[in-house]
Amino acid sequence: MPVQQYVHDIMQPHVLLLMQQLHGAIFPQDNARPHTARVSEDCFHTVTIIPWPARYPDLSPIEHIWDHLGWQAGYPMSLNELEARLQQLCKKKCL
């Protein structure tokens, strides 16, 4: 994705808007080229950023969520059982 598209389609309408609403929030930003381009960095002058290595799974928040859900779901015997367990976990934890 070109950096201008990244800034125009993702950062300005979604990320920056959300970060302005979440006072004190910190945005994780890896070192991918669109993220480190000057146009992109200029976009972040009002946002606190945590730099971290690109493609580093241990720092990816979704990896922790999947790990936790997998541990909680146990060893289902079928896809239907897995789906039911995940729905139960989401109802219990997300609500």
Give the mean pLDDT of 37-62.
Answer: 72
Please give the helix or strand (H or E) that residue 17 lies within, else none.
helix 16-21
pLDDT recorded at residue 80: 94
Averaged pLDDT score across all residues of the chain: 79
List, for residues 5-38, the tens digit of each pLDDT value.
888 898 888 888 888 888 878 777 777 777 777 7
The predicted model scores a pTM of: 0.45
Helix (H) or strand (E) run with residue 28 in it: strand 26-30
